Structure 1
């Protein structure tokens, strides 16, 4: 899954990188090294501008809330549960299938955090012991330092309890598509620890390589098989992973130090 990531690039950099045509500086977000569900995040998407006469899709950089609320939901309370959509079933699940065909986006990140279950913890879980050592977090990012372009979906939800002109009458939310984690060796692996992403966690966000961005964002593409092919895992050897301090486990902690590599994974601490 993907439950936490870092996003520190400036919007000015993202607009150039993704060839964005429209961005409103009012939607500027501060750098965030500990993005958690229900936070606002940047998304690159293509859709016609409001009140535009030509109806031409325009590539935009927008801020969305992470945690998708389906258009048919009665309330937004379940948003925190829909932060991820599985690539294997995204085209058929009621919460995601319409957005998969019509509302796709790219969620730019520096990389994502994942927590690895060690052998000691697995043994404790098997034995039913309540106290467990903390999981070791890792930061996963492109080995070449490029943007981690996560495949995403977005959706609109109307709060019928508010008047149409109320600023919170419409919610725009998003979800990260995930797939099976790569079993191929990491481009850069820790001296001690996992050699592949699958050693850390069985799932990972779908990373879209630049050659797939245009096709994924194009709202005119609606063929299910073609779209599913775009979110097939990219070739291996693109990623690096390194252990980071357990401070990232607390959503209140935020700063570039959360991504800094530890010399070695931290010793398990009972809690």
Structure 2
């Protein structure tokens, strides 16, 4: 699972990386640099509209399906299992044709109560696979709310020593297909899992100090200092 991640990113560089057109990146709605993004906060996502244009936008991190009668669902939706996302009513429509990429500097997983930080060895942005949905209250004239979830898969290698789930990463050669709304998501799952899992095998990770919801800053990802056992001689 992934319920906390870091995003200290150059949004202009992300927009360039994904060929987001001029005027298709809403910088005012994108989150400020954060090392402690939590569910129900605003995160940045890259997604494609039905006309094939790519957008970089801020999204509410907990997917709300368009048919939901309220903003609060009786179960968490900040993560979706890739193995069942195409079949679950909450995520099926999004998995079919509303997929997103959620850039991150790194993410945290917990082994019991001990947090670990995962990141690329060269600290390049991680491209987490996500789904999105537009929602607003029924019979309302309020603006539509863009919402999103992060897909997770079975953990392998190093990540599996910390937690049994991990975010599914998008291989660079599959970003176009993943964002393409004309491609049925069910046809992408097998290839995505194979390529994404290989990327996760190469991640660097280390234990960090415990932190609370209000804590932030780069100090959160500092490796936890291990206290050496005293020498008797």
Question: 2:119, 2:204 within 8 Å by CA — same for their partners in 1?
Answer: yes
2:61 — aligned with what? Answer: 66
The Cα shift of 1:16 comes to 1.8
**RMSD after superposition:** 1.9
Deviations 1:6-63 (A, max 9, x none): 0110211211222222212322321011000000000000104xxxxxxx31011011
| Aligned match of 1:6 | 6
1:31 alignment partner in structure 2: 33
Give the TM-score normalised by structure 2.
0.90
Over 6 Å off, 4+ runs: none
Count of residues in Structure 1 that have an aligned counterpart in Structure 2: 224
For 2:231, the equivalent position in structure 1 comes to none
Which of 165, 169, 172 does residue 207 from structure 1 map onto? 169
Residue in 2 aligned with 1:234?
Answer: 197
Structure 1-normalised TM-score?
Answer: 0.78
Query: SS at the partner of 2:124?
Result: coil
Aligned to 2:110: 115
Unaligned runs of 5+ in 2: 228-233
Cα displacement string for residues 112-170 of structure 1 (whole angstroms, at most 9, x for unaligned residues) = 111113xxxxxxxxxxxxxxxxx2110011122211110000011121253x2x3xx42
Report deviation, 1:79: 8.0
Q: Does 1:146 align with 2:102?
A: no
CA distance in 1, matches of 2:41, 2:162: 25
Structure 1 stretches lacking a partner, 5+ long: 49-55, 118-134, 184-195, 266-271
1:244 to 199, 208, 214: 208
Q: Distance in 2 between matches of 1:18 and 1:153?
A: 17
Q: What SS class does the counterpart of residue 146 from structure 1 fall into?
A: coil
1:104–1:154 Cα contact (<8 Å) kept:
yes
Q: Which whole-Å CA distance do the structure 1 matches of 2:111 and 2:2 have between them?
A: 13
**Structure index of larger Rg:** 1
What residue in structure 2 maps to residue 123 of structure 1? Answer: none
CA contact (8 A) 1:69 1:79 kept: no
Secondary structure at 1:91 match in 2: coil
Q: How far is 1:213 from its partner? A: 0.7
* Structure-2 change in CA distance of 1:23 and 1:223 (3 Å): closer
1:223 offset after TM fit, Å?
5.7
Q: Using the alignment, how far apart are the partners of 1:9 and 1:254 within structure 2?
A: 15
